[in-house]
C-alpha cells in the first residue's frame, strides 16, 4: 500500500468529504500511473493545505480521453450534481487538461472511498 498526495479545489474537496463524490478525475500522467487499487490518497484543500481527507483507492478507470470516460462512468459520482449533470460535458475538463495532454497521457477516473484515517 502506497500513500499519495494530491491537491483539490474547495468544491470537489467538500464533495469528497461529504461522500458525494466518489470518483476523482485526473490526467493519467506519470504521478497517477503509480496509483494502484488498495493505495491511499491524502487530498489537500488547495486554499488551506492543513485541511486533508484520506481515501482508499478501490478502482481505477483509465480512458484515452474524457469523452469516453464521461460516456462510461456515472457523472453523479464524478463531482456533478442533479442540478448540473444534464449539462455535463467532457469539455468541462479542458479547463484543467488540454486535448493535447489527454492525447499524450490519457485520463483516469480514480474510484475512492473515505478512509477511517482522517488527518
Domain map of the chain by residue range? Answer: 3-114
Q: Residue 93 contacts by C-beta under 8 Å, 6 or more apart in sequence? A: 25, 66, 102, 107
CATH 2.40.50.140 fits 3-114, yes or no: no
For the segment 36-65, the average pLDDT, to the nearest whole number, is: 97
Q: Which of 105, 107, 85, 87 is nearest to 24 (CA)?
A: 107
For the segment 39-61, the average pLDDT, to the nearest whole number, is: 97
Question: In Å, how far are 27, 44, 58, 72, 85 from 65, measured between CA atoms?
Answer: 9, 26, 21, 11, 19
Question: What is the reported pLDDT for 85?
Answer: 96
CA dist., res. 79 & res. 75, Å (int): 7
The confidence band for 116, taking pLDDT boundaries of 50, 70 and 90, is confident
Does residue 14 have a pLDDT over 60? Answer: yes
Question: What is the reported pLDDT for 119?
Answer: 46
Tell me the pTM: 0.94
β-bridge pairing 40-45 and 23-27? unpaired
Question: What is the reported pLDDT for 117?
Answer: 57
Percent of the chain at pLDDT exceeding 90: 96
CA dist., res. 46 & res. 20, Å (int): 19
For the segment 19-42, the average pLDDT, to the nearest whole number, is: 97
Residue listed under C-alpha cell 503509480 = 34
Amino acid at each position: 500500500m502506497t500513500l499519495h498526495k494530491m491537491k483539490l479545489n474547495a468544491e470537489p474537496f467538500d464533495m469528497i468529504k461529504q461522500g458525494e463524490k466518489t470518483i476523482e478525475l485526473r490526467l493519467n500522467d506519470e504521478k497517477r500511473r503509480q496509483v494502484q487499487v488498495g493505495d491511499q490518497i491524502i487530498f489537500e484543500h488547495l486554499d488551506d493545505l492543513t485541511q486533508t481527507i484520506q481515501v482508499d483507492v478501490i478502482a481505477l478507470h483509465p480512458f484515452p480521453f474524457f469523452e469516453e470516460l464521461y460516456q462510461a462512468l456515472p457523472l453523479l459520482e464524478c463531482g456533478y450534481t442533479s442540478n448540473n449533470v444534464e449539462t455535463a460535458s467532457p469539455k468541462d475538463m479542458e479547463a484543467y487538461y488540454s486535448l493535447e495532454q489527454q492525447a499524450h497521457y490519457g485520463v483516469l477516473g480514480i474510484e475512492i472511498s473515505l478512509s477511517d484515517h482522517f488527518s
